[in-house]
Structure 1
């Protein structure tokens, strides 16, 4: 009897120790201005995975499988009553992150979680045009997509020639045929920033008639951009952008990574920002450091999602910021792939049928979505 009781005590102690040692899922205090909470819809993710579709590449002069490597980092926008997703697709032409060619694929969803149509060929890709030097052989990466009130779709994406990353812009009327305009900073300050390493732009939008529309702030279009910090730029035509600088024409960082937090290494701008009654909400991707300056709650080098609140009257002023991420890598496909440290890389935000749909890349390998049923930002 005593031996049996001892066995029970040992079993209880072992179970208690096991439970206590498990990493706890971080709790996020959702403030009134935050867009969320987002939940993973059951049984649908990942919604986009690699395929063996082929197309004729004008630069290799050959028919190739253009998305058989990985599919990830999606932008998204509403067209009529359909959610359209532009996602980054990589072939298998090289090994290692950044060493293959990226092209932008196109997919559609009516309910936000089920893909009902997917284009056989990429819609934005390196070709024999005036952007070839900036886009070949690395390709077109990580699009953020939004639409104007007159129906012009604006894609802000990264050009990668395996030497320099440049933030570029393209416009379209149908999301299939695009006009490339090249570097967003080509003309600003006599081209001073045209060759600077730049990426990740979130143009400011607002909800109008149940749809996110690109809007002006203080008379100009505004975007937040950058990964080493959050910077800003303005435009009058959504093509040429002027970055915010000081009296010495040096870039002004509105926010930086924070030691000891989930965003200790990078604060990379995510999907289009949203102008609300509370201010401008910018969803971003925070990368955790490794070592003493990291947040040990999260995996070293992992990407988690956070949110900023900027003053709508002074859009360069940070009013608030989440100290804990609202979305972290949890699922197996979010922690295994090209980027095994774990990635939920948010880039596409759509408001559709009174719900928020947030699209993200998983470990640089898949596309997934989370959904919020609460609309707390209707102006």
Structure 2
């Protein structure tokens, strides 16, 4: 089974009229409510520093989106922990408030696509400076909003010495606890049970104190998924929590797989696809800033039995693919070992 890509992709492209989004619009969080689709997308201009922001677009059909403003809804805060970038958001809703996790850096990453894979710029500091500053480490924070336009930054969620991204909250409490997926790049080696970065899971009583040890949830097993990370907030189904995740192969190509987690104990993987659901195929998926090919979902919403998967293409465009949710769940169960 493959996700069906929208023929009109990309659904959002860089906007030359706004300097903060003239080069990049990608990796959108997504939410569907009261007949409207909302995308909170990562955006950046063509500046040398490459400051990264988050913009908002709205649609009534899930395919044709209109920007709500010529300004970002969230930007780096000067001289703060996220002064360089706010990016790759994921969003869930608890009662009347939205909770958005977002990746950040203390300094802008520079034109990272011109460097070797996964290398960003970092200013010089002496050896006493925290590692997060010396290496311009990517980490994750939480922001809260009621209208998707005005956000309150709550602060860092994961340990400052970890390069920890792809942090995703479950959309409801499970047995009285909040759960979070994350991908700490440092958690590799024999003591961690994985040779490459993988998906970990942990719980919390209050959304900010994640002090309990993490558990290794899922690691790469197929050739297309040497390194893996979570993509979209889990979707509750009768068969389990449906999670879309990405696998990166030895050539740095990004593809998409899926798994089902136990409803009452999401630390248990019930089913996991052997084959990927989506891979880079089109010119904008293979020939953007990342030349090796990237499809990277960060938002998925359900309307009836229709699943809309919103993804970034090669770190430069926003796209959408669809399928029947019931058919995808059946496929994950059948394609599992």
Q: Same fold (TM over 0.5)?
A: yes
Aligned-pair CA distance for 1:111: 0.2
Q: Give the Cα separation in 2 of the matches to 1:90 and 1:52.
A: 11
CA contact (8 A) 2:204 2:211 kept: no
Task: State the number of aligned residues.
Answer: 289
> What is the aligned-residue RMSD (CA, Å)?
2.0
Aligned to 2:33: 79
CA contact (8 A) 2:306 2:323 kept: yes
Distance 1:267 1:333, change over 3 A: same
Aligned-pair CA distance for 1:244: 4.7
Query: Structure 1 residue aligned with 2:6, among 41, 47, 54?
Result: 41
CA contact (8 A) 1:83 1:109 kept: yes
Establish whether residue 146 from structure 1 lines up as the match of residue 115 from structure 2: no
Aligned to 1:135: 82
Distance 1:241 1:275, change over 3 A: farther
Aligned-pair CA distance for 1:234: 2.0
Aligned-pair CA distance for 1:52: 2.5
Establish whether residue 285 from structure 1 lines up as the match of residue 253 from structure 2: no
Q: Secondary structure at the match of 1:217?
A: coil
Distance 1:231 1:307, change over 3 A: same
5+ long unaligned stretches in structure 1: 1-27, 29-36, 55-64, 186-192, 205-213, 246-250, 290-299
Greater shift in the superposed pair: 269-278 or 338-347: 269-278
Q: Give the Cα separation in 1 of the matches to 2:88 and 2:294.
A: 14
Aligned-pair CA distance for 1:241: 4.0
Establish whether residue 217 from structure 1 lines up as the match of residue 186 from structure 2: no
Q: Give the Cα separation in 1 of the matches to 2:13 and 2:176.
A: 41
CA contact (8 A) 2:204 2:212 kept: no
TM-score by length of structure 1 reads 0.72
Q: Give the Cα separation in 1 of the matches to 2:33 and 2:161.
A: 33
Establish whether residue 257 from structure 1 lines up as the match of residue 220 from structure 2: yes
Distance 1:322 1:243, change over 3 A: farther
Establish whether residue 309 from structure 1 lines up as the match of residue 255 from structure 2: no
CA shift digits 1:5-29 (9 cap, x unpaired): xxxxxxxxxxxxxxxxxxxxxxx4x
Aligned-pair CA distance for 1:340: 1.0
Aligned to 1:199: 165
5+ long unaligned stretches in structure 2: 108-135, 186-196, 330-337
TM-score by length of structure 2 reads 0.80
Q: Give the Cα separation in 1 of the matches to 2:140 and 2:206.
A: 16
CA shift digits 1:152-191 (9 cap, x unpaired): 1111110112411111110000000000011113xxxxxx
Query: Structure 2 residue aligned with 1:335, among 271, 280, 286?
Result: 286
Q: Give the Cα separation in 2 of the matches to 1:252 and 1:355.
A: 32
Aligned to 2:69: 119
Q: Give the Cα separation in 1 of the matches to 2:174 and 2:321.
A: 28
Q: Give the Cα separation in 1 of the matches to 2:211 and 2:241.
A: 18
CA shift digits 1:232-272 (9 cap, x unpaired): 1223333x041551xxxxx43222223x52111x2111010
CA shift digits 1:298-335 (9 cap, x unpaired): xx211000112222233212222111110111111111
Q: Give the Cα separation in 2 of the matches to 1:108 and 1:241.
A: 33
